[in-house]
Amino acid sequence: MKLPPFMLERYFAVHEFSVEHLLCVSDCQTLTAGQLLDLEPGARQAFEALPLGYTEAAGGPALREEIARTYRGIAPSQVLAHVGAQEAIFNFATACLNPGDEVVVHTPCYQSLHQVAATAGCTVLPWEARPENGWRPDMDELERLVGPRTGAVIINSPHNPTGFAFSAAEMARIVEIVSARGCLLFSDEVYAGLEYDMASAPRPACELYERAVSLGVMSKAYGLAGLRVGWVAARDESVLAAMAAAKDYTSICGSAPSEFLAALALRHGREIVSGLRALCQENLSLLETFMRRHAGRFTWVRPLAGPICFPALASGQDAEPFCAQVLDGCGALLLPGRLYGEAWSAHFRMGFGRTGFATGLAALDEYLMKSTC
């Protein structure tokens, strides 16, 4: 299987560690290993005594227990740890889908969510979100797309790149549609916990439907992308077994220090995530002011959740030259929408989950006030 380049990751490979202002990343402000170890008495000593051999293939018991605790009615045995969310997406598409399956994918999306299935020989049917509908994809359209050949529906909420999030009622409708056909539901929930209105956030898909796979990770709402700890939670034993068998070929097992630190962070997850949600909301209010000041230049849909949004140039022109000019002019990195596909070329992604956002946004604002780009 020969996969095409992952456009967004190639873009970050060039710019992420050299630009002055990162204004488009999707992870939140991170912590140091020391800050994590300070969360619990005795953690530092336990970490120093940690054996560095292979870990359990499905993820260590302490880690799986903490992950399971974040769901209702999910046992540790129904959790399969992975190296990041990315490995889980790859293993799901290669192990649980068959060539010739139709796969309905919430679009635009993080490339691997459609690309791995497409390269594995599935027919991808986009279920498209449009800005004129507030990035809310249409449920009747989903009903039309799901048919007898559907292997899986793949959704992502809170959504990358738009910041849209399904309500509980919308998730219930999705579950109704997929369960009528009995197909799998792969629900990328890596931004879960960052909903601005937590009270109306839906339950994870794996709690709502027995053939759903919920994808989680430490990278986004916990700000711990460098741990590379992700997981799936699912009640369908055949899915878990197929993905576990695939994992023997991708990573075998996770890293012991990462699993230790992830379990520690999950024990303090509520505080970590609520702090980062507050940071996103604080930065989002700066971004709202910025968007009002530049209303003639940009259009946008205010996000409902998460650390990213997907504005567009009001002119409808390709945003790629604009992003290049901004990078050159004030050292701020924006992400051209065409990395998600041609249809989104007037858009660009912004990310506001880090503490340096205010400074970067001020630099961008100052540059735009004196530039014609």
Ligand X SMILES: Cc1ncc(COP(=O)(O)O)c(C=O)c1O
Q: How far apart are CA 204 and CA 72, in angstroms?
A: 9
Q: Enter the tokens of residue 44.
A: 């530092």
Q: How far apart are CA 118 and CA 99, in angstroms?
A: 9
Q: Enter the tokens of residue 167.
A: 């309500």
| 284 in contact with ligand X (CB under 6 A) | no
Residues in 85-114 that interact with ligand X by CB under 6 A:
85-86, 110
Cβ 140 vs Cβ 131: under 8 Å: no
84/330 with CB nearer ligand X = 84
Q: How far is the CB of 101 from ligand X (least distance, A)?
A: 20
Residues in 140-169 that interact with ligand X by CB under 6 A:
156, 160
208 to 227: interface string for ligand X, x by CB under 6 A: ---------x-x-----x--
Q: Enter the tokens of residue 282.
A: 């604080």
211/220 with CB nearer ligand X = 220
> What is the total count of residues that contact ligand X (CB under 6 A)?
13
37/221 with CB nearer ligand X = 221
Nearest to 229 by CA among 212, 253, 246, 210: 253
The owner of tokens 């999306």 is: 109
> With b meaning 16 or more CB within 10 Å and e meaning fewer, what string describes 345-366?
bbbbbbbbbbeebeebbebbbe
Q: Which stretch binds ligand X (CB under 6 A): 56-64, 79-87, 256-264, 358-366?
A: 79-87
CA–CA–CA angle 352, 163, 346 (5° rounding): 90
Give Cβ neighbours of residue 235 (< 8 Å, ≥ 6 apart).
74, 78, 206, 210, 212
Q: Which stretch binds ligand X (CB under 6 A): 59-67, 82-90, 162-170, 270-278?
A: 82-90
Q: Which stretch binds ligand X (CB under 6 A): 84-92, 96-104, 121-129, 200-208?
A: 84-92
30/219 with CB nearer ligand X = 219
Q: How far is the CB of 353 from ligand X (least distance, A)?
A: 11
- Tally the residues of the chain: 373
184/368 with CB nearer ligand X = 184
58/368 with CB nearer ligand X = 58
DSSP secondary structure letter of residue 305: B
> Which one of 26, 115, 187, 283 is in contact with ligand X (CB under 6 A)?
26
Q: Which stretch binds ligand X (CB under 6 A): 83-91, 278-286, 333-341, 354-362?
A: 83-91
Q: Which residue is nearest to ligand X (CB)?
A: 84
Q: Which stretch binds ligand X (CB under 6 A): 47-55, 81-89, 290-298, 333-341?
A: 81-89
Q: How far apart are CA 196 and CA 193, in angstroms?
A: 9
89/120 with CB nearer ligand X = 89
Q: How far is the CB of 33 from ligand X (least distance, A)?
A: 18
Q: How far is the CB of 316 from ligand X (least distance, A)?
A: 26
Q: How far apart are CA 49 and CA 64, in angstroms?
A: 20
**Half-sphere exposure (CA, 13 Å, Cβ side) for 250?**
23
Q: Facing residues of 184 across strands?
A: 152
25: left (phi over 0), alpha (psi -120 to 50) or beta: beta
177 to 196: interface string for ligand X, x by CB under 6 A: -----------x-x------
Strand, coil or helix: 139: helix
> Which one of 59, 163, 216, 230 is in contact with ligand X (CB under 6 A)?
230
Cβ 187 vs Cβ 204: under 8 Å: yes
86/345 with CB nearer ligand X = 86
Q: Where along the sequence are the contacts to ligand X (CB under 6 A)?
A: 26, 84-86, 110, 156, 160, 188, 190, 217, 219, 225, 230
